[in-house]
Amino acid sequence: MLNTMYTPLQVSVSKGCTLIIEGPSKAKIKSGEVEIFGAIFKRGAEVEIDPHKALPLYCLKKSTIEVFNGKVSLIASDTIPNDWRDLVGKISLKKGNCTKIIVLGGLDVGKTGLITFLANKFFLKGLKIGVIDADVGQSDIGPPTTIGLGVIEKPIASLNQARLIDAVFIGSTSPSGLLHRVFAAILQLLHIAITREKCDVILIDTTGWITGRGRDFKIFKITTIHPDYIIGIQRRDELEPILKWAEKNYQVYRIEAARHVKARSRDERRSIREYIYKRWFSGAIVKEIDFNKVTTIGTIILTGSQIPQTCFEYLSKLMDATVIYGEKSSDTLLLIVNEDKSINENVKNKLAKIFNVKQVYIHTKSLFRNLIVAFQSKERFLDDLGIIVDVDFKSQKFKVLTKANFNDNVIMYFGQLKINVDTFKEEDWIRLSSI
């Protein structure tokens, strides 16, 4: 049933039934009592449902629910599988012990739903719960392109209600090619969760990448985390190549995928990210950052010494393109030119000889336009995200859309993804080695 009317839809649901609401939507409990992923909501409570997501409201009593927009469907039972409820009793936890639990599974099997359920159930036992969201594409804690650590401070309907403690920028919405960053990020956040936040339980959510190279990735993720429990959710036997190995060293629980999980297409996943970027950047303004006040990582720009402007005329003649900026480090030459034209290999070889470098990169300044970046400080791995709007090579300034507050010594971490600053749609990916 689709409710697009301005007046909310009043739905009366019997005890023991589940109302599934698809976002974007908002729901208010008018009477009765519902359970959402293990958290109980009573009369007056409101929940929001993001686009392309679905929330199951299981009615513990006969309830009346007011639904604003969204699509609703009624299931005559509990959509939380018995397996999930049984797990709560099987996992032994102790205050001050820091139990690590990783949830694995393919796409859309209910990994995040199960983590939310366990987080609520364990929170209600009076334990401090940390959640590491290691899914860079479909992040609920921290924005896409990051791995986030959140703590649970109240029963939650969705993981994005966890309080964000910190996040580590990965630079892309896929871990592919950036596995070293993912492993480092997980270790960095585990350290914070254990030593600073003193979590009793750390739940680790993962991507649905479990086939091909994804298998190896998951196995090494497990050895990096060294979890106390591994929960594998599978439709058939797709996780077995990982679980057969894992159960030799760890406590493994196998769980069947939940039946009423809402699957999302690639486009829907992209559109969820677009929605999150829009929300994340709301209130952001374009700020200028001087080249001499920033240290960069994830890029070659600003990692070498600038080539004097007096050389530009000679270089422009040699390349038949107008050079506006140049930098040289021990092994690399970076030149920025005005025109978008390909420079012949012979010229590049000649430049490599003149500057005594191994690699020569020649780019136009548009390469950096719309590139996602992150700001770091001593205090936090992620101060905030930014999107490069423009680079003025003449006055040597970056113009970046961000909410971050800089001091004079900011670290700017270059990502590999381009996001349109007007629409917040993802536009393009660029390779790490080329920037």
Q: Which residues bind Mg ion (CB under 5 A)?
A: 111-112
Say whether residue 221 binds ligand ATP (CB under 6 A).
no
Stretch that binds ligand ATP, among 248-256, 257-265, 352-360, 386-394 (CB under 6 A): 257-265
Say whether residue 135 binds ligand ATP (CB under 6 A).
yes
Nearest to ligand ATP of 80, 276 (CB atom): 80
| Sequential DSSP letters for 93-160 | --TTS-EEEEEEESTTSSHHHHHHHHHHHHHTTT--EEEEE--SSS-SSS-TTEEEEEE--S--SSGG
Choosing from 25, 69, 79, 120, the residue that interacts with ligand ATP (CB under 6 A) is: 79
DSSP at 342: P
Cβ neighbors of 78 (< 8 A, separation 6 or more) are 16, 18, 58
Place of tokens 């040289």: 328
Q: Which residues of 92-113 are buried (b: 16+ CB within 10 A; e: fewer)?
A: ebeeeebbbbbbbbbebbbbbb
Beta-bridged to residue 289, according to DSSP, are 398
Stretch that binds ligand ATP, among 54-62, 218-226, 235-243, 419-427 (CB under 6 A): 54-62
Give, in order, the Cα–Cα distances in Å from 155 to each of 36, 37, 64, 324, 414. 9, 9, 21, 55, 36
Choosing from 11, 21, 63, 111, the residue that interacts with ligand ATP (CB under 6 A) is: 111
Q: What is the smallest separation between the CB atom of 209 and ligand ATP, expressed in angstroms?
A: 9
Nearest to ligand ATP of 185, 294 (CB atom): 185
Q: Which does 79 bind (CB under 5 to 8 A by kind): ligand ATP, Mg ion, none?
A: ligand ATP
User: How far apart (Å, rounded) are the C-alpha atoms in residues 306 and 416?
Assistant: 23
Stretch that binds ligand ATP, among 51-59, 121-129, 194-202, 419-427 (CB under 6 A): 51-59
Nearest to ligand ATP of 80, 334 (CB atom): 80
CA 374 to chain centre: 13
Say whether residue 35 binds ligand ATP (CB under 6 A).
no
Choosing from 8, 38, 70, 113, the residue that interacts with ligand ATP (CB under 6 A) is: 113
User: How far apart (Å, rounded) are the C-alpha atoms in residues 67 and 3?
Assistant: 8
Residue nearest to Mg ion (CB): 112
Which tokens is 168 given? 């580590």
Residue nearest to ligand ATP (CB): 113
Q: What is the smallest separation between the CB atom of 342 and ligand ATP, expressed in angstroms?
A: 39
Q: What is the smallest separation between the CB atom of 318 and ligand ATP, expressed in angstroms?
A: 51
Question: Binding residues for ligand ATP, per CB under 6 A?
Answer: 20, 53-56, 79-80, 105, 107-113, 135, 138, 208, 258, 260-262
